C-alpha cells in the first residue's frame, strides 16, 4: 500500500499553523544538511511523506525536550526519502555519508531507530577520545574508549551501562543476553551489536512517551522481536527510559542555551 493511502496514529499537537507541509519546510526548520527525494516518488507521495515526516520530527523534538538543532545534529545530518536505500531494507543510516534513508513505502515506524544510529555516530567523537570516523559512541563505550569528562557524557554512558549491563555492572544485561542468544540461533552478529541494542532501547523510550506517533516508532512491545526479548522489558525498560530522559532533557537545556 502506498504511503499516501495509509494512516498512522498520533496524538501530538498541530505543528504547522496552517502552513502546507513540505520537505522545504522541514529543511528550513531543522537545518538538515540536505534532503533528497527519489525520482520514483510522485507528488502525492512526496506531499504526504512531508506531512508525516514533519509531524514525526517535531514530535521527536518534544519527546527529547530539545531544539531543532538536536534533530538535525547541528545541521550535519542528510535525509533521503525513496532514494539512497538498500534492497530489502526499510530504512538505514549510512555513517560514511551521515545520511538517513527511508524507503518509499516500507519505512514507517523506523525513524526513531535510525535517528538514534545517526545520533550515536555523531556524538562518538564528542564523548570519547581516539574514535574512528565510522565508530558509534555505544561501541566505543563497550570497548573502553577514553571518556571525555563532561556531565553530559557521564549521563550518556549511564544510558549505555543501563542498556548493556546488569545493575551491578558486572554482567551482560538480560537484553544483551537475549540478543546474543537470538544471534547465535540465526548464525549472525547483528542484534547484539552495541549500536543495535542501544537503538532498540531508544525506540522503546520513544514509544513509551505519552506523545505517540506510529510513523516515528512502533513495534517495541507486541511484535515477534519483542516476544524474543530483543527490546527492553519490565524493570530494565523503566531504568533505561529514566536514563534516556535524564540525558536528553539535560542535553536539550544545554543546546537551548548554547
Integer Cα distance of 173 and 185 in angstroms: 19
| Pairing label, strands 99-102, 91-94 | antiparallel
Residue 238 has pLDDT above 50, yes or no: yes
Q: Is 143 within the bounds of a domain?
A: yes
Please state the pTM of the whole predicted model: 0.94
Share above pLDDT 70 across residues of the chain, in percent, rounded to a whole number: 94
Q: Is 165 within the bounds of a domain?
A: yes
- Residue 92 and residue 140 in one domain: no
- Residue 141 and residue 60 in one domain: no
- Residue 250 and residue 154 in one domain: yes
Residue-wise pLDDT tens digits, 195-230: 999 999 999 999 999 999 999 998 899 889 999 999
Q: Is 35 within the bounds of a domain?
A: yes
Is 118:105 a contact under the CB 8 Å cutoff? no
- Residue 68 and residue 147 in one domain: no
- Residue 121 and residue 163 in one domain: yes
Range from 49-58, 85-94, 119-128, 236-245 carrying the lowest mean pLDDT: 85-94
Is 256:67 a contact under the CB 8 Å cutoff? yes
H or E segment at 206?
A: helix 194-207
Confidence class of residue 89 from pLDDT cuts 50, 70 and 90?
low
Is 101:87 a contact under the CB 8 Å cutoff? no
- How much is the pLDDT for 51? 92
Confidence class of residue 1 from pLDDT cuts 50, 70 and 90?
very low
Is 129:148 a contact under the CB 8 Å cutoff? yes
Q: Which of 58, 83, 107 is the last residue of a domain?
A: 107
Phi, psi for residue 225 in degrees, rounded to 5: -65, -40
- Residue 196 and residue 149 in one domain: yes
In 10-83, where does DSSP find H-type helix? 23-30, 43-64, 68-71
Q: Is 112 within the bounds of a domain?
A: no
Q: Is 231 within the bounds of a domain?
A: yes
- Residue 126 and residue 95 in one domain: no
- Residue 124 and residue 40 in one domain: no
Residue 129 has pLDDT above 50, yes or no: yes
CA proximity to 107, closest of 179, 197, 45, 59: 45
- Residue 93 and residue 211 in one domain: no
Q: Which of 45, 79, 107 is the last residue of a domain?
A: 107
In angstroms, the Cα distances linking 133 to 123, 124, 142, 223 are 11, 9, 17, 34
Quote the mean pLDDT of the chain: 92
Confidence class of residue 4 from pLDDT cuts 50, 70 and 90?
low
Identify the residue with better confidence: 102 or 33: 33
Residue 153 has pLDDT above 70, yes or no: yes
Confidence class of residue 7 from pLDDT cuts 50, 70 and 90?
confident
Q: Which of 107, 136, 166 is the last residue of a domain?
A: 107
Range of the domain at 225: 117-256
Work out the average pLDDT over 36-59.
91
Count of structural domains, the chain: 2
CA proximity to 201, closest of 255, 158, 168: 158
- Cell digits of residue 220: 517495541
Integer Cα distance of 83 and 104 in angstroms: 8
- Residue 10 and residue 100 in one domain: yes
Confidence class of residue 102 from pLDDT cuts 50, 70 and 90?
confident
Q: Is 39 within the bounds of a domain?
A: yes
- How much is the pLDDT for 16? 84
Amino acid at each position: 500500500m502506498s504511503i499516501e493511502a495509509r494512516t498512522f496514529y498520533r496524538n501530538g499537537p498541530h505543528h504547522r499553523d496552517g502552513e502546507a507541509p513540505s520537505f522545504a519546510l522541514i529543511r528550513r526548520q531543522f537545518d538538515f544538511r540536505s534532503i533528497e527525494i527519489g525520482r520514483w516518488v510522485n507528488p502525492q507521495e512526496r506531499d504526504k511523506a512531508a506531512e508525516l515526516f514533519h509531524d514525526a520530527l517535531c514530535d521527536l523534538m518534544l519527546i527529547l525536550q530539545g531544539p531543532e538543532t538536536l534533530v538535525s545534529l547541528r545541521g550535519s545530518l542528510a535525509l533521503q526519502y525513496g532514494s539512497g536505500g538498500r534492497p530489502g531494507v526499510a530504512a538505514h543510516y549510512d555513517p560514511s555519508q551521515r545520511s538517513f534513508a527511508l524507503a518509499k513505502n516500507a519505512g514507517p515506524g523506523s525513524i526513531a531507530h535510525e535517528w538514534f544510529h545517526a545520533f550515536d555516530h555523531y556524538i562518538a567523537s564528542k564523548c570519547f577520545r581516539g574514535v574512528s570516523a565510522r565508530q558509534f559512541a555505544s561501541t566505543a563505550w563497550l570497548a573502553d574508549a577514553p571518556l571525555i569528562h563532561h556531565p553530559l557524557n557521564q549521563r550518556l554512558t549511564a544510558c549505555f551501562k543501563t542498556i548493556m549491563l546488569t545493575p551491578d555492572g558486572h554482567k551482560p544485561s538480560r537484553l544483551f543476553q537475549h540478543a546474543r542468544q537470538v544471534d547465535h540461533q540465526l548464525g549472525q552478529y547483528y542484534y547484539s551489536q552495541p549500536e543495535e541494542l542501544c537503538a532498540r532501547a531508544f525506540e522503546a523510550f520513544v514509544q513509551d512517551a505519552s506523545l505517540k506517533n506510529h510513523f516515528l516508532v512502533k513495534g517495541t512491545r507486541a511484535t515477534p522481536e519483542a516476544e524474543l526479548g530483543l527490546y527492553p522489558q519490565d524493570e530494565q525498560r523503566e531504568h533505561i527510559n529514566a536514563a534516556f530522559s535524564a540525558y536528553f532533557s539535560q542535553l536539550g537545556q544545554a543546546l537551548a542555551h548554547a
